[in-house]
Structure 1
Amino acid sequence: MSGFTIFLALLRTIGILGLWLLAAAFLFLLLILFVPVRYRAEGSIDDREGGESFDPERVKKASRGELHISWLLHFLRIRISFPGAPAMSVRILFFRIPAGKKRQKEQKEHVGKTEKKGGHTRPDPGRLIELLGNDETKRAIHAILNKSGKLLRYLLPKKWKVGGSAGFGGPEGTGKFMEAEGLLFPLICGHVWVTPDFDRYRAELVFSAKGSIRLIRVLVTALLLIADRNVRRLIHTWKNL
Structure 2
Amino acid sequence: MIFTILKVIGIILLVVLALILTALLCVLFVPVKYRAVGSFDNTDIRAKAHASWLFHLFALHIEYADETDGYIRLVFVKKGLFADSLGDNYEAFNDDVMDDAAKTETEDKISENTGDGPKIPADESEHITDEQAEDECTARTHNEYRSVTDENQHIKQQTKLTHKKRSKKTHKKQFKDKSDRIKNCIYKLKREYSDERNKAAFLHLKKELFIILKRICPRRLKLTMVYSTGSPDTTGISLGILACFPVGYTNRWRITPDFESEKPYAKGSFDIKGHVIVISILAATLRILFDKNCRRLYNRISR
1:33 corresponds to: 28
Alignment partners' CA distance in 1, 2:19 and 2:51: 25
How much has 1:14 moved relative to structure 2? 3.3
What runs of 5+ residues in structure 1 fail to find an aligned partner? 48-58
Q: Highest CA radius of gyration, 1 or 2?
A: 2
1:179 corresponds to: 240
Counterpart AA for 2:267: E
> Which structure features the higher share of helix residues?
2
2:37 corresponds to: 42
5 Å-filtered alignment, 1:89-104, equals 89-101=71-83
CA 1:222 to 1:165, structure 2 compared with 1: closer, same or farther past 3 Å? same
Alignment partners' CA distance in 1, 2:194 and 2:67: 43
Alignment partners' CA distance in 2, 1:124 and 1:69: 32
Query: Aligned to 1:100, what secondary structure does the other structure show?
Result: coil
Query: Aligned to 2:218, what secondary structure does the other structure show?
Result: coil
For the 8 Å contact 2:215–2:281, the answer to whether it is kept is: no
What runs of 5+ residues in structure 2 fail to find an aligned partner? 90-167
Counterpart AA for 1:173: T
Compute the RMSD of aligned alpha carbons: 3.2
Counterpart AA for 2:8: T
- Give the share of equivalent positions with the same residue, in percent: 26
Alignment partners' CA distance in 1, 2:199 and 2:265: 45
2:291 corresponds to: 228
User: Which structure's relative contact order is higher, taking Cα pairs within 8 Å and 6+ residues apart?
Assistant: 1
Alignment partners' CA distance in 2, 1:181 and 1:167: 13
How much has 1:23 moved relative to structure 2? 1.6
Counterpart AA for 1:201: P
Counterpart AA for 1:43: G
1:155 corresponds to: 216
For the 8 Å contact 2:35–2:271, the answer to whether it is kept is: yes
Work out which of the residue numbers 187, 200, 206 in structure 1 matches 2:269: 206
Counterpart AA for 2:54: L
Alignment partners' CA distance in 2, 1:206 and 1:126: 40
Partner deviation per Cα, 1:12-36 (whole Å, 9 max, x = no partner): 4334323311220111010011011
